[in-house]
Amino acid sequence: MIRTLTLWLIWLGFIVYVLFFAPPLPADAFQPIQSLLAGQIPSINPVILSLFSLVGIWLLIYSSLIFPDGRMQSLPAWLFMLASLATGVIALIPYLALRQPNQEFTGEQGLWIAILNSRLTGVILTISAIALVLFAVLWGDWAGFRQAFLTNRFIHGMSIAFGLFCVLFPYPTLLKDDMARRGLTPNSQLFWLAAGVPLFGPLAYLCLRPSLLALRFRNP
């Protein structure tokens, strides 16, 4: 109950903050998108481009846990994750708040869950994340990003959302339930790695966790 209430408070607080207290949205906020539609390559700060791409990687990380979990929930996990493509953490938090703890998985995986369940997916996401971080560190304009964070509501909100992705990953029972249905012990070293190291801890978990399919053969 307390966990659920906390999630709803975080969700509401984030929305209220972005709408009423974050910096305004500049008139040219969507200029890069307009440039792309016009067939032009927009000039985007590598830090902002990397941050935007890393939010997408976070959504895939959560999807790798949520879609197997959604098989055992009454909630349509795909609907929440589809909405998160447009709203990010705003659509993700309600799923975390509404889902029920469950450590089982039954039935066939299906192609999409099999892809998300693959360690190769974790490896690809990890390599992509490393490349994006290096791209931002080596070629990014950090002073420009700081200015955008202070003056652009979209960049400001996206940065806070990235932090929420990091903080919320171990907080609900989603991670512990995923570990349990794979035969892993919650509160193990792997849990603390995934919980304590932002972004790369969860990515390491995707690379190291046993397969649901392999677990099914070991424990029919």
Helix (H) or strand (E) holding 209: none
- Contacts of residue 187, defined as CB under 8 A and 6 or more positions apart, other chains included, come to 176
pLDDT of res. 220? 45
CA–CA separation, 103 vs 26, rounded Å?
45
Residue 187's pLDDT is 79
pLDDT at 12: 97
Nearest CA among 84, 104, 120 for reference residue 219 = 104
- Residue 63 makes CB contacts below 8 A (sequence gap 6+) with 81, 116
Could you give the CA distance from residue 175 to residue 198 in angstroms, rounded to a whole number?
Answer: 14
Let me know the angle formed at the C-alpha of 25 by 21 and 31, rounded to the nearest 5 degrees. Answer: 160
Per DSSP, helices labelled H in 24-152 are 31-37, 46-70, 77-87, 89-98, 110-117, 119-139, 142-151
- Each residue's pLDDT tens digit, 188-202: 899 999 999 999 999
SS3 content of the chain, % helix, strand, coil (to 5): 70, 0, 30
Matching residue, tokens 């399919």: 213
What is the C-alpha separation between 104 and 76, in angstroms, rounded? 17
What is the Cα–Cα distance from 82 to 70, expressed in whole angstroms?
Answer: 13
Give the pTM.
Answer: 0.91
Instruction: Note the pLDDT of residue 129.
Output: 98
Query: Distance between CA 145 and CA 24 in Å, rounded?
Result: 16
**pLDDT at res. 219:** 47
Closest CA to 94 of 76, 113, 112: 76
Neighbours of 140 (CB within 10 A): 19
Q: What does the domain layout of the chain look like in residue ranges?
A: 2-18+50-218
Q: What per-residue confidence (pLDDT) applies to 83?
A: 96
Residue numbers in the chain where pLDDT is lower than 50: 217-220
Biggest CA–CA distance in the chain, Å, is: 58
